[in-house]
Amino acid sequence: MSRAAAPFVHSAFYRYVALADPAAMAESLRQLGARLGAPQALGGSLIVAAEGLNAVVAGTPAAVDAFEAALTRDAAFAPFHGLAFQRSACTAMPFGRYKVAHKAELVAIDLPADAGPVDERDDSHVAPADWDALIARPDVVLIDNRNHFEFRLGRFRGAVDPSVDHFRDFGAYVQAHAEAWRAAGTTVAMYCTGGIRCDRTAPWMRSLGLDVRQLQGGILGYLADRCANPPVDAKADEHAWIGDCYVFDRRVAIDATLAETGLTPEQVYDPARPDEAWRLARARRLDGAMSPSPPPSLPPGPPRNPPATSA
């Protein structure tokens, strides 16, 4: 769907930067949303911490344009100037409210206090245009830095599924395989939805002596690049992404063209897995769908990959 035809626009972004007063910044963001017509014209979920901002917003094109302009121009939001926004179209409003939360950290993961500072521009970042060639190398192991249900919906070819139900469990998976990867001289490539999970874990993984590469802009950045720069010969240059990408809003998932798939929570979550059963119940509650739902119809997925030192 072209932007002109889309009634709503979704924008995802984050920034790791030290904030002197995160509570005051959170209040400034609440006031900005109110000025732009939240929650009718603008909705979203924003997390502010001393280490920065992690956010998604959606609304009318005018409201999202004004929101992004404020974050990149207004003096009150100087720490966020230069932000990169990852946009996609929405056929319906994907958020029912505009919520700004002040939390201790942007993403919940158990890492040592000396895990190392996040650098969103260091040389571990690989541009989308160079990603397919990297993950095709025999000395690279490709790790999906997301939860299992996200992997099941879509992933890059050859990716290993750590089979975690919570992001905080990813560190244990890395520690269990780090010695073998180092011994084999393996390059560890990883990706996540928008990049924030990889940015958070990459410094710590390098502190373990690993050669780490991460996809700049995550899956969303990769798909946007492919949409903006389609290959001349699709058969000769087929990209490495397969399936759909889970998104944390009412759209549920988007396809390789960043379009909504129409998938329902029942088609995403496996109620036989305790953590996914909880997620399914929450999705139904948020959608106001408390009535009995149809039986789940999970999309087929490959068997979980065993631990490996090469992709």
In which residue are the tokens 């469990």 written?
Answer: 169
Task: Name the residue among 199, 21, 25 with its Cα closest to residue 109.
Answer: 199
Whether the CB-CB separation of 224 and 230 falls below 8 Å is answered with: no
- Cα 90 to chain center, whole Å? 17
- The Cα 124–Cα 202 span in angstroms is 8
Whether the CB-CB separation of 98 and 33 falls below 8 Å is answered with: yes
Structure tokens at 157: 């070819």
- The Cα 176–Cα 7 span in angstroms is 47
**Sheet containing 86-90, strands listed edge to edge, beginning at the edge strand earlier in sequence:** 86-90, 8-16, 52-59, 42-49, 98-102
Q: How far apart are the first and last CA of the chain?
A: 34
| 170: helix, strand or coil | helix
Element (H, E) at 154: strand 154-156
Whether the CB-CB separation of 83 and 15 falls below 8 Å is answered with: yes
Q: Is 245 a catalytic residue?
A: no
- The Cα 213–Cα 133 span in angstroms is 13
Element (H, E) at 35: helix 22-35
Q: Which of 192, 198, 227, 245 is catalytic?
A: 192
Residues with a known catalytic role? 192
